[in-house]
Structure 1
């Protein structure tokens, strides 16, 4: 199949949530213990980001992978979201083509909506093993939570329409996160048709949160905010493809802040920063 030259770099607005995700039952897992530390205290002033990022290296993944999907599905949300990005010529991804550009956005974590989620990490850092501090934003609260990139993808796999080249990476949640789980971000190209797709595959559940305010708040608003993040991520990646942002550069403190182009953080007396709220 040959794609006319005028169609090789097109983007589609079609996105969908895959069926099959049901409501999880009550979390019955055994909580992973963590030690008390001063980073957990809520603060009305801006947090010490370099110190918090440095601290992530000692934190563990906050759930037992043997008790998570695909081994155990009871009690877990399982989500799959997809977005058709457009077409390249059939065959392996083109240099500087659609797969390359989408992969750059995914690898840079440039597809998040800064009104919902931002991230910082230490520079330089390899992809696998990189600890990222996520800032979830809800009302006047800023929840700072750690994740670790545990795998990088660049593989040939059999898909529903034939062989696919898949690139991307996955992260897992660390001690102190409001959730337990894993997110996989993929850009996949069907080699026979040239069709390119962005995918989010995830499983998650609420952590056993000690603070009753955060526990109840997450139970009420957490899933809604999570689905909002997925929808926004698909749309934002689509919208940023035609004009790729500049590569994120570290600040004077050695931290990279993404997504680039987001309005700068301005400390407000009304903001409450909560570090590692999930313990």
Structure 2
């Protein structure tokens, strides 16, 4: 069953198939220059020094990061089961660029909830790419409060490279547009989260409605919308697998 947010594919089936997929790389392989290693920091509204304040910037940011609301829907959307524990959760991502929509799996393999260096109150999580993904690598999203100063940050840390199993056309597209889109994704994540936290502190809520659903799964972020040209997009499921297949343009399935 598909919908206007995910197009003409059976997204529930594609999500279910992630359960049998494995992480598609080994951390021992990660080294520059063949891998991109990135860290992006966004300063969020600050708090008073000390532990995170109830209803403050850190708490709002933590909730938004937990629910993947920071992701820019024009670049990446996600489908997942919100009733499952965060650690171990499978997510079907829809990566969108230049008239192509790629459906790729990731798995949450780490949840962070700690105080570092006696001052940095940190909460976050990380996912790693599964077989069939466009990329290989890991992305970590953390909300950090420096309790000695009150500064709050959103930190995105990633290492990645294009999957070596992409077909010729997809590989060419990734080389031309992938890195540029990746860097724009990091920047937009920080911009969105800062805007949502500012709205939550000002209005009491970030201005996001309830998420759309496909069966028992939810679509994140909640403000994802169908654009008219989306009906013309070419869609590819598990593009990093030899068995990945394209789905042509047309109206979404009901």
Q: TM tier, shorter chain?
A: 0.7 to 0.9
Structure 1, 256-265 or 128-137: larger mean CA deviation: 256-265
Q: Shift in Å at residue 156 of structure 1?
A: 0.7
Contact 1:53 1:122 survives alignment (8 Å): no
**TM-superposed deviation, 1:268:** 5.4
Counterpart in 2 of 1:155? 114
Partner of 1:116: 75
1: CA distance between counterparts of 2:230 and 2:113? 42
Aligned to 2:105: 146
Root mean square deviation, CA, Å: 1.8
Task: Tell me which structure has the larger Cα radius of gyration.
Answer: 1
Alignment of 1:32-43 (within 5 A): none
Give 5+ residue unaligned stretches, structure 2: 1-6, 201-205, 242-254
What residue in structure 1 maps to residue 218 of structure 2?
256
Residue range with higher mean Cα deviation, 109-118 or 256-265: 256-265
* Contact 1:248–1:256 under 8 Å retained in 2: no
Greater helix content = 2
Give the counterpart of 2:194 among 232, 235, 238.
238
| Match status 1:270 vs 2:226 | no
TM-score normalized by the length of structure 1: 0.77
Shift of the 248–132 alpha-carbon distance from structure 1 to 2, 3 Å rule, reads farther
Q: Deviations over 1:9-63 (max 9, x none)?
A: xxxxxxxxxxxxxxxxxxxxxxxxxxxxxxxxxxxx6000110100111100000
Instruction: Summarize deviations over 1:221-266 as a string: whole Å, max 9, x none.
Output: 1101100101111111111111424574562511110110221477
- In structure 2, the residue corresponding to 1:221 is in which secondary structure? helix
Go from structure 1 to structure 2 and tell me whether the alpha carbon gap of 1:193 and 1:123 turns closer, same or farther (over 3 Å shift): closer
Compared CA separation, residues 148 and 232, structure 1 to 2 (3 A): same
Partner of 2:244: none
Which residue in the other structure is 1:226 paired with? 182
User: What residue is the counterpart of 2:144 in the other structure?
Assistant: 188
CA contact (8 A) 1:248 1:258 kept: no
The structure-2 alpha-carbon separation of the partners of 1:209 and 1:248, relative to structure 1 and needing over 3 Å to count, comes to: farther
Instruction: Say which of 148, 162, 171 aligns to 1:215.
Output: 171
Equivalent pairs, count: 229
Q: Distance in 2 between matches of 1:246 and 1:268?
A: 22
